[in-house]
Structure 1
Amino acid sequence: MNHKKNFLALVLGVLLICAAGQSSQAQQHKSKHSFEIKNGSFLYDGKPIQIHSGEMHFARVPHQYWRQRLKMMKAMGLNTVATYVFWNFQETAPGVWNFEGDHDLAEFVKTAGQEGMMVILRPGPYACAEWEFGGFPWWLQKTPGMVVRTDNQPFLDSCKLYFTKLAEQVGDLQITHGGPIIMVQAENEFGSYVAQRKDIPLEQHKAYTAAIKKIIDEVGFDIPKFTSDGSWLFKGGTIEGALPTANGEGNIHNLKKVVNEYHGGKGPYMVAEFYPGWLDHWAEPFPKVSAESIVKQTEKYLKDTVSFNYYMVHGGTNFGFTAGANYNGEHDIQPDLTSYDYDAPISEAGWATPKYKAIRTLMQRYVHYPVPEIPQQIPVIEIPAIQLTQSANLFDLIGKMKPVENDTPMTFEDLNQGYGYVVYQKKFVQPIQGKLKVDGLRDYAIVYVNGKQVGELNRYFKNYEMDIDIPFNSTLTLVVENMGRINYGAEIVHNLKGIISPVTINDMEITGSWQMYKLPMTSFPEITSGTSQTTGNPALYKGSFDVKDVGDTFLDMQDWGKGIVFVNGHNLGRYWKVGPQQTLYLPGCWLKKGKNTIEIFEQQNDKKHTELHSIKTPILESLRLPEKKGA
């Protein structure tokens, strides 16, 4: 018995020694590296470093591809990855938080660390990024008394909950806790917002940004903070205790001058958004930035020890309904493309472009750390013919649905719907002719009388009215699409969708028993069997196809009008014949060997479709504008 006790005591002692050793190793690991802003420099383990960063948003890339994209960045000569965190991507419904799969922020950060990359976190709460509502959840607009991006307690309370959730996920992945996150941004490009919202006193703006930084500190982010603005906007955008960095600043003299002014007369100096490409809108040319100009500017930064972050080094894709929209005077709204290729060095599908190779060659001349070989490209396949064997008329589908009824049209938000489509119907017991006006259209509508298409209205082209002839005992139908909430500028506070103001005919408001059918398209509606679609009506198509070997591909939508595509349940995003994007990126990780399903919602449906093809290269520069207003 005593021998057994002695043996157990010996085993216990060994275990305690091992545990103590492991604890000691863990502590050593957690204190392995340090990062701070001191003496005008970024210091990593006490030594000055230059940050060579590239922006990649984990939300725009399937999680199965994160590592390959990070390896591509590493092989371009970068040592850091910057990523936005989109609030509405993490809180997918009020109080519903998703940190799994493509939403797994912590896993992305860990993967970056495993690949030897430092991480810069950009959690907002406002991001912009051509993302729906700039990252804000759509339902914030429904909260009584809440005003986004202001010193408003209901908004700040919501922000604190959001930041608390993020800290729970990645707080232990900060460099102060042994992880790879070295800096966190407070708000984003707030100086430009101050410049546009002159109706709010500067001291109130400053109170808001100070409150955001305080929240970020309080929830447990204990690493250096920074702000990011155009250099001419620092007055409104800088925050006490945060490093000011500049966006798009090519003049190093100007950069140093303005940072010195707002940061105690010294650096470090960083261009937090250095643009190797540019954003893209539907119905507008695809902008290009030359490799030569980017290499030339990069070399200036490298020579002058200016840190930089390529925005974007890899853009990815606005899958589903995640694309936002910009706003200007010429167009009420400029919807962003599904592709976020951005003419970036790493293409939408993760390919090394000529721009990538030119930057890589330059970086190899300047950096003192090893630059690995370019990783192997993900295989690309071509699917010659996808047969669409089932179809249905949307109007047959909604005939089986229960509508919401109201005296006037309701917004998406009033219908408690964030994205997708709403079908608005109004029965007329007396005939009426004249000018139909939908000044509150948000954003695109096809108009029908008794199921027959009679016109299109379009916020982009400022086409809000049309002649209408509604016979006795007839039904007016508007199929309305939300094309993405505004993501930048003062108009971000005006982001309701659907029909947001009275519908008139001959300047008389049309009221009384409007029926609204909700089509959020969170999943594709079921098609039972057959081919019951009608040309000229919105249609639902379904088919299947087999693949022997999976790989990336691009669905060729040049023969289609406007709509969305699901493959194996994944919403690939919007297509629209106006271009310039004419293909949809289909990641191979969403395919499976053998049978795959495809589902398409085609809004315009000017002709019957029986098949679809895929091709090996994307079409992103084919603009096909209509000859007259509409689309």
Structure 2
Amino acid sequence: MIHFFKNTFKIALLLSLSIVFSANAQQKHSFEIKDGQFLYDGKPTQIHSGEMHYARIPKEYWRHRLKMIKAMGLNTVATYVFWNYHNTAPGVWDFKTDNRNLAEYIKTAQEEGLFVILRPGPYACAEWEFGGYPWWLQKNKNLVIRANNQPFLDSCRVYINKLAEQVKGLQVSKGGPIIMTQVENEFGSYVDQRKDIALEEHKKYNAAIKKQLGEAGFEGPFFTSDGTWLFQGGATAGALPTANGEGNVENLKKAVDQYNGGKGPYMVAEFYPGWLDHWAEPFTRISAADIAKQTEVYLKNKINFNFYMVHGGTNFGFTSGANYNEEHDIQPDITSYDYDAPVSEAGWVTPKYTAIRELMRQYVQYPVLNVPAQIPVITIPAIQLSKTVDLFDLKKDIKPVTNSTPLSFEDLNQGHGYVLYSKRFTQPVQGKLQVKGLRDYATVYVNGKKVGELNRQENKYELDIQIPFNATLELLVENMGRINYGAEIVHNTKGIISPVIINGFEITGDWNMYKLPFDKVPDLTKYTPKNKEGKPTLYSGSFDLKQTGDVFLDMRGWGKGIVFVNGHNLGRYWKAGPQQTLYLPGCWLNKGKNEVVILEQQNDVLQKELKTTDKPILEELQ
């Protein structure tokens, strides 16, 4: 009986607290910039924020990761909104299914006691495919990306209005947690690179985006985000200029004062506790001591800040973008977006997290909560791969597109994945094959036998080739992610985008192109088992679980490809490294039967099983 009354009391207490919290959540508040400060309900407030992108975390884990942010001592979460993540096809919008339910993410942040900073772009960068732009924008020849161009601005307006329908009611004035909205993103760096466009035109574009946000119902305060030396191109009237990567407090204040009437508030909108990573390049680490030291500089000087990233998550599917430099025509980003962030890719506490948390406890006035328990991690006995299918056998169920020259992905109305380019030769030919317009990676076959690889990341666009009489040349071309930063963002078509040359002569006439978008896991049941060394192969298998938990697929020993588990595309793997594992969230596993399908493009080593491990391997270059 005593237990009955105790349980009844607990239930009543929880119910009453829930009602009180719900009422407070709907209470309208104010957030403004006044007298050089951020004011929440008229009281000076410091923003201690961490960036975390809902699209990079399984929805089932949102609350856990938000609790991690709160327990680190932060009071705000910032997130980009990726236009192409919600505008999934021309005229098709999705703000509801799975990870795309942005409104639910924002509400969950509020329930965990966090403010929200919204970064809607339309350009995001973020090492995300095409910086967040839908790939098909490039099909409109009158449209100029990221410019004061009416067709582009018209497209931006549609996106901004669609977004506003979902989230404008979650602004702080409406009882929600959104306290600030960003205008565009790092536009100053783009202006610096595109000196072929007049500064006045750039400023018109930036002002137009701010106007569209306001007309759609975003109330502000608005802010821009640039390096301190790039404010001239990125700052816009009516928006607070904030700095990225600025550790010198005096430089920060000087730059902001110049563009904000000689007063604050002062904010570092991107404070980097880690850094991004590319395939075939070393994984970047930044010490916990260095980050804690810089954090204390900001806290002592009452500088507002946003850790980019506090938790990175994963570039699932084909969402990772790419960079470039003078040495590499493209630098594709790895699947993991661990970022060496305070919260690891799988949501674990790191030494960096602990160091920052202890520091925050010394400086902030609000309570710093207990760290939530880590999500369980498991390993799975070696998964037997019971069936193998030659990828080329899928051609019989795909109607090819035929053209006298190879077509780009965009011309084929395909955004991601792979295209198989096939050409039959009626006369023998040998010499140097050149595909200078390769975007981005290709395995090359003559009569089904692999003869080499081409790789934009290595600037490898040619190889010696010998094609006999009545033979077929085939190139399996992979889009490894569109460039997301810099002036080259306007040149972002994929596939084969220039003539295929052999011995200086263009190869034309009856190119057949087979579209392999891999937007969903393929059904392999109707295909005859085959597995030949060097041929692109689909491996499949199943495994049973009594308990689920997070796990890492060990891809050491494999070549290059993608992995589906229970229909979820976990992203790319590549033996080049530094990433050698793929993160598989436990919430995507089933108690009972589970299915795995692997597309192995190189297939230089025939596989029989897939192994797992309980730790990520992110620092192992080939």
Q: TM (normalized to structure 2)?
A: 0.95
Describe the SS at the equivalent of 1:374.
coil
Structure 1 segment 209-608 matched on structure 2, within 5 A: 209-528=206-525, 531-608=529-606
73, 78, 97: which is aligned to 1:77? Answer: 73
1:531 deviates by 2.6
8 Å CA contact 1:175–1:223 kept in 2: the answer is: no
Q: 1:26 to 1:109 in 2, by over 3 A?
A: closer
Counterpart residue number, 1:155? 152
8 Å CA contact 2:28–2:174 kept in 1: the answer is: no
Counterpart residue number, 1:41? 37
1:400 deviates by 3.5
C-alpha offsets along residues 447-467 of structure 1, whole Å, 9 cap, x if unaligned? Answer: 000001000000000000011
Give the stretch that moved more between structures: 529-538 or 575-584: 529-538
Q: Distance in 2 between matches of 1:419 and 1:273?
A: 29
Describe the SS at the equivalent of 1:70.
helix
Describe the SS at the equivalent of 1:261.
helix
Describe the SS at the equivalent of 2:252.
helix
Q: 1:340 to 1:434 in 2, by over 3 A?
A: same
Q: 1:28 to 1:280 in 2, by over 3 A?
A: closer
C-alpha offsets along residues 583-630 of structure 1, whole Å, 9 cap, x if unaligned? Answer: 000000000100000000000001211110111000000001xxxxxx
Counterpart residue number, 1:22? none
Q: Amino acid of the residue matched to residue 491 of structure 2?
A: H
Describe the SS at the equivalent of 2:88.
strand
Q: Identity rate of aligned residues, in percent?
A: 70
Q: Distance in 2 between matches of 1:523 and 1:27?
A: 42
Q: Amino acid of the residue matched to residue 83 of structure 1?
A: T
1:28 deviates by 8.3
Q: Distance in 1 between matches of 2:454 and 2:328?
A: 14
8 Å CA contact 2:552–2:581 kept in 1: the answer is: yes
1:385 deviates by 1.0
Q: Distance in 1 between matches of 2:153 and 2:398?
A: 39
Describe the SS at the equivalent of 2:353.
helix
Structure 1 segment 70-109 matched on structure 2, within 5 A: 70-100=66-96, 101-109=98-106
Counterpart residue number, 1:614? 612
Counterpart residue number, 2:14? none
C-alpha offsets along residues 20-70 of structure 1, whole Å, 9 cap, x if unaligned? Answer: xxxxx9998655421101100000111111100000000000110000000
Q: Distance in 1 between matches of 2:27 and 2:383?
A: 55
1:223 deviates by 2.1
Describe the SS at the equivalent of 1:96.
coil
Structure 1 segment 104-183 matched on structure 2, within 5 A: 104-183=101-180
Q: Distance in 2 between matches of 1:534 and 1:411?
A: 29
Q: Distance in 1 between matches of 2:482 and 2:425?
A: 32
Q: Amino acid of the residue matched to residue 140 of structure 1?
A: L
Describe the SS at the equivalent of 1:540.
strand
Q: Distance in 1 between matches of 2:78 and 2:507?
A: 50
Q: 1:316 to 1:565 in 2, by over 3 A?
A: same
Q: Distance in 2 between matches of 1:44 and 1:266?
A: 18
1:217 deviates by 0.3
Q: Distance in 1 between matches of 2:490 and 2:278?
A: 21
- How many correspondences in the alignment? 600
C-alpha offsets along residues 187-222 of structure 1, whole Å, 9 cap, x if unaligned? Answer: 000000000000000000000000000000000001
Q: Distance in 2 between matches of 1:326 and 1:56?
A: 21
Q: Distance in 2 between matches of 1:438 and 1:144?
A: 24
Give the stretch that moved more between structures: 27-36 or 429-438: 27-36
8 Å CA contact 2:560–2:574 kept in 1: the answer is: yes
Counterpart residue number, 2:17? none
Q: 1:53 to 1:518 in 2, by over 3 A?
A: same
Q: Amino acid of the residue matched to residue 534 of structure 1?
A: K
Q: Amino acid of the residue matched to residue 617 of structure 1?
A: K
Q: Amino acid of the residue matched to residue 551 of structure 2?
A: T
Q: Distance in 2 between matches of 1:29 and 1:611?
A: 50
8 Å CA contact 1:288–1:343 kept in 2: the answer is: yes
8 Å CA contact 2:444–2:454 kept in 1: the answer is: yes
Describe the SS at the equivalent of 1:73.
helix
8 Å CA contact 1:210–1:239 kept in 2: the answer is: yes
Counterpart residue number, 1:3? none
Describe the SS at the equivalent of 2:108.
helix
8 Å CA contact 1:81–1:119 kept in 2: the answer is: yes
Q: Distance in 1 between matches of 2:65 and 2:118?
A: 17
8 Å CA contact 1:282–1:580 kept in 2: the answer is: yes
1:556 deviates by 0.2
Q: Distance in 1 between matches of 2:365 and 2:233?
A: 37
C-alpha offsets along residues 476-535 of structure 1, whole Å, 9 cap, x if unaligned? Answer: 000000000000000000000000000000110000000000000001222126531222
Gaps of 5+ in 1: 1-24, 625-631
Structure 1 segment 20-31 matched on structure 2, within 5 A: 30-31=26-27
Q: Amino acid of the residue matched to residue 401 of structure 2?
A: V
Q: 1:454 to 1:52 in 2, by over 3 A?
A: same
Q: Distance in 2 between matches of 1:379 and 1:186?
A: 39
Counterpart residue number, 2:202? 205
Describe the SS at the equivalent of 1:340.
coil
Describe the SS at the equivalent of 1:222.
coil
Gaps of 5+ in 2: 1-20
Counterpart residue number, 1:66? 62
1:399 deviates by 3.3
Q: Distance in 2 between matches of 1:341 and 1:29?
A: 32
Q: TM (normalized to structure 1)?
A: 0.94
Q: Amino acid of the residue matched to residue 130 of structure 2?
A: F
Describe the SS at the equivalent of 1:545.
strand
Q: Amino acid of the residue matched to residue 135 of structure 1?
A: G
Runs of 4+ in 1 over 6 A off after TM superposition: 25-29
Q: Amino acid of the residue matched to residue 91 of structure 1?
A: N
Q: Distance in 1 between matches of 2:132 and 2:418?
A: 20
Q: Amino acid of the residue matched to residue 369 of structure 1?
A: Y
8 Å CA contact 1:176–1:223 kept in 2: the answer is: no
Q: 1:218 to 1:538 in 2, by over 3 A?
A: same
1:437 deviates by 0.2
C-alpha offsets along residues 563-594 of structure 1, whole Å, 9 cap, x if unaligned? Answer: 00000000000000000000000000000100
8 Å CA contact 1:64–1:589 kept in 2: the answer is: yes
Q: 1:354 to 1:200 in 2, by over 3 A?
A: same
Q: Amino acid of the residue matched to residue 360 of structure 2?
A: M
8 Å CA contact 1:314–1:347 kept in 2: the answer is: yes
8 Å CA contact 1:327–1:333 kept in 2: the answer is: yes
8 Å CA contact 2:25–2:110 kept in 1: the answer is: no
Q: Amino acid of the residue matched to residue 575 of structure 1?
A: Y
